[in-house]
Amino acid sequence: MKITVGHASLPRVGFTANGDAVFVRNDGSRLLLVVIDALGHGPAAASVAATALGVLGEIPHSSSLHDVVERVHAHLRGGRGAAALFLLVSAATASPAAVSPGIFGALASAGGAGGAHGGATAGQTPVEVASYEVCSVGNVEARARPSKLPLLLTPGVLGLRLRAPRIVRGTFTVTTRVVIFTDGISGRIDVPSVDGIAPEAASSSLLQHHRREHDDATVAIADIEL
C-alpha cells in the first residue's frame, strides 16, 4: 500500500488567520488524517485549530479513532469549538474470495462464505486491501473515488457538546482517492475534474474552483494505492 496526501487551505477573504487546519500522520502503512474547522474564523478560530493540531501530534500511534475523537473533544473544552473529520486508514489483507472488486464491505472473516471470486489457485494468496475508520463531527465532508465512503455525521461540536461519535468502518479493495473538505468549499465540488492530478495540486485546484469566500476553506486528498 502506498499513501500520498496533499492539502490546501485559505482563510476567509480579508483575513490572514485561518481556523481550518489539516493534521497528517502518514506512516506508509497507516494514515491518520484530520481536517479541522474551528467555529467562526479569524484569530480566535485559528487558536482553536492550533490547539487541535497540538493534541493530535501527541496522540499515541496505537490509539483507536474513537480515542482520537474523544481526546480532541476533551482538549478543546473551554474554547469556541470545532467541527472535524477524522480518517484512519490501515494496511490489511483479505482472502481473494472476500474481495469483490468495486464492492467494499467488512473483511470477510477467515473462511467466510463466498464472494464472486476465489478461484482454486488464487484462493491461497491474501490480497492487499485498506481498512478504514471515519468519523465526522459537525459538517466536514468527504467523498471517495471509485470506492464509496459512507459518512454518518455526528451531531455536535468538539469542545462543546458531543454525543457518542458515529464511526463508520469499512474496507477499500481497490486504489481509492478520498477527498475531504470543510464547509468553506461548495458541496458542488467536482472531484472527478482532478482525476490523475497529484493530491497537492488537486487540492489547490479544487480549493481555487469551489471556494466560498466568506469562510475559511480547506481541501485534503489522500490517495490510497493498493
* Chain contacts with Mn ion (rule: CB under 5 A): 37, 183-184, 215
Residue 216 CB, nearest distance to Mn ion (Å)? 6
For Mn ion, the closer of residues 5 and 45 by Cβ is 45
For the packed helices 65-75 and 42-57, what is the interaxial angle rounded to 10 degrees? 140
- Reported as type and span, the H/E element at residue 200 is helix 199-210
The residues near 111 (Cβ < 8 Å, ≥ 6 apart) are none
Residue found by looking up cell 461519535 in the block = 165
> Quick check: helix, strand or coil at residue 154?
strand
For Mn ion, the closer of residues 133 and 215 by Cβ is 215
Residue 84 in contact with residue 38, Cβ under 8 Å? no
Q: DSSP assignment, residue 213? A: T
Residue 213 CB, nearest distance to Mn ion (Å)? 12
For Mn ion, the closer of residues 84 and 98 by Cβ is 84
Residue 81 CB, nearest distance to Mn ion (Å)? 12
Residue 87 CB, nearest distance to Mn ion (Å)? 18
The residues near 72 (Cβ < 8 Å, ≥ 6 apart) are 34, 52, 55, 56, 82, 84, 158
Rounded to an integer, what distance in angstroms lies between the CA atom of residue 84 and that of residue 87?
10
For Mn ion, the closer of residues 130 and 162 by Cβ is 162
For Mn ion, the closer of residues 79 and 184 by Cβ is 184
Residue burial 35-54, b: 16+ Cβ < 10 Å; e: rest: bbbbbbbbeebbebbbbbee
The residues near 208 (Cβ < 8 Å, ≥ 6 apart) are none
For Mn ion, the closer of residues 37 and 141 by Cβ is 37
Residue 35 CB, nearest distance to Mn ion (Å)? 11
**CA 172 from centroid of its chain's CA atoms:** 13
Residue 116 CB, nearest distance to Mn ion (Å)? 42
Residue 129 CB, nearest distance to Mn ion (Å)? 33
For Mn ion, the closer of residues 114 and 187 by Cβ is 187
